[in-house]
């Protein structure tokens, strides 16, 4: 790492969905010549646009956003992949003399980048298919008992009915020759040698819910249903384990249920708003329990955005 990198501070801007973190990051980046590391596990997919509240083309043109529009649905990419690649890019940006901002709300991405991650082997399609056949043939209790014999500590953290984590745990053991418990002890801290200030945007719960509902309506007015129709036609009938994860995104999955005639349109919209509110609550719980966050009042107008931008710039530059 270059000596000049150590003298710089980077700011991580977190917050629940619809809290305004993207707008704040953009405002700061313009002031201090920064590039943005997007910690959003859905905006990385080219095909997911309106439903992920992806930055506009004009915003992307003005400020370099990393991990936006870089993958297609079905491309494998884990939180560990993100943390490794983000760490490398952060160092390259700092070495070039520019500033860096991290902005996003994807808990797995933020956990891996800010708190570290276990160096687990990537998913193996053939091994996973073998385990899926075993699961279907013998049932989840059979696989759970095998995991309990091999890695009792990991088994103790699982519910045998949560088959995705069960299969993944056995996959890791069979691919690496080590238990998940052993692998997790080899913790990688991607940003251990970089000064990161983590700031979170806070706003009253009723106001947050109002913003979520209003943004959902704006997404629908901007063509969210049409985007969902295109995705449904291309992917939905043929989903496998990988693509299903990308498409199980709030805003899309409810409209897929409507397009699959499993619910009506009004109910789908109600569920989008409800599920987004639930997601925001889970994000806030994670931020408060897992990260050391300096909370700030979310700006509610242009004047407050300008004032907060100035304050955040001082945190980074010291001026």
Question: Quick one: DSSP state of residue 308?
Answer: H
Question: Is 19 labeled as ligand-binding?
Answer: yes
Task: Tell me if 20 is assigned to a ligand binding site.
Answer: yes
User: What is the domain count for the chain?
Assistant: 2
**266 assigned to a ligand binding site:** no
Range of the domain at 297: 3-118+189-317
- Structure confidence at residue 233 (pLDDT): 92
Element (H, E) at 35: strand 34-39
Residues 23 and 93 in one domain: yes
Is residue 87 domain-shared with residue 29, that is, in the same domain? yes
- Asked if residue 152 belongs to a known ligand binding site, the reply is no
β-bridge partners, 102:
12, 37
Which residues in the chain come in under a pLDDT of 70? 1-7, 237-244
pLDDT of residue 110: 96
Tell me the Ramachandran region of residue 223: left when phi exceeds 0, alpha when psi lies from -120 to 50, beta otherwise.
left
CATH number at residue 228: 3.40.50.300
Does the annotation flag 74 for ligand binding?
no
What values do phi and psi take at 196, rounded to 5? -115, 125
Tell me how far apart the alpha carbons of residues 319 and 314 are, in angstroms, rounded to a whole number: 5
- Angle at the Cα of 190 from the Cα atoms of 186 and 195, rounded to 5 degrees: 130
Residues 60 and 91 in one domain: yes
Tell me if 249 is assigned to a ligand binding site: no
Asked whether the CA dihedral 253, 254, 256, 260 is positive or negative, the reply is positive
The predicted pLDDT at position 5 comes to: 45
Residue 15 annotated in ligand binding: yes
Q: So what's the pLDDT on residue 248?
A: 85
CB atoms within 10 A of CB 183: 18
Share of the chain above pLDDT 90, in %: 78
30 is in an annotated binding site: no
Residues 197 and 296 in one domain: yes
pLDDT at 12: 98
Give me the CATH number covering residue 154: 1.10.20.140
């Amino acid at each position: 790492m270059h000596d000049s990198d150590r003298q710089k501070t980077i700011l991580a801007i977190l917050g629940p969905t619809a809290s305004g973190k993207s707008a704040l990051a953009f405002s700061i980046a313009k002031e201090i010549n920064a590039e943005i590391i997007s910690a959003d596990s859905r905006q990385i997919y080219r095909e997911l646009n309106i439903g992920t509240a992806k930055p506009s083309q004009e915003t992307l043109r003005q400020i370099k956003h990393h991990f936006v529009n870089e993958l297609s649905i079905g491309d494998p990419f884990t939180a560990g992949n993100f943390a490794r690649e983000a760490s490398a890019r952060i160092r390259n940006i700092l070495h070039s003399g520019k500033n860096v901002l991290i902005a996003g709300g994807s808990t797995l991405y933020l956990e891996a980048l800010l708190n570290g991650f276990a160096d687990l082997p990537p998913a193996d399609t053939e091994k996973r298919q073998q385990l899926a056949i075993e699961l279907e043939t013998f049932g989840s209790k059979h696989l759970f008992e095998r995991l309990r014999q091999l890695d009792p500590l990991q088994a103790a953290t699982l519910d045998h009915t949560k088959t995705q984590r069960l299969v993944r745990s056995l996959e890791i053991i069979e691919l690496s020759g080590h238990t998940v418990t052993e692998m997790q002890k080899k913790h990688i801290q991607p940003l251990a040698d970089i000064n990161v200030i983590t700031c979170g945007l806070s706003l009253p719960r009723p106001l947050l819910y109002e913003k979520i509902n209003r943004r959902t309506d704006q997404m629908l007015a901007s063509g969210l249903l049409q985007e969902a129709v295109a995705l449904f036609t291309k992917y939905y009938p043929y989903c496998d384990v990988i693509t299903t994860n990308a498409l199980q995104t709030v805003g899309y999955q409810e409209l897929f249920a409507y397009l699959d005639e499993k619910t009506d349109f009004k109910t789908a919209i109600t569920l989008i708003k409800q599920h987004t509110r639930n997601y925001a609550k889970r994000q806030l719980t994670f931020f408060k329990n897992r990260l050391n966050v300096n909370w700030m009042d979310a700006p509610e107008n242009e004047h407050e955005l300008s004032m907060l931008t100035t304050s955040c710039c001082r945190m980074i530059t010291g001026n």
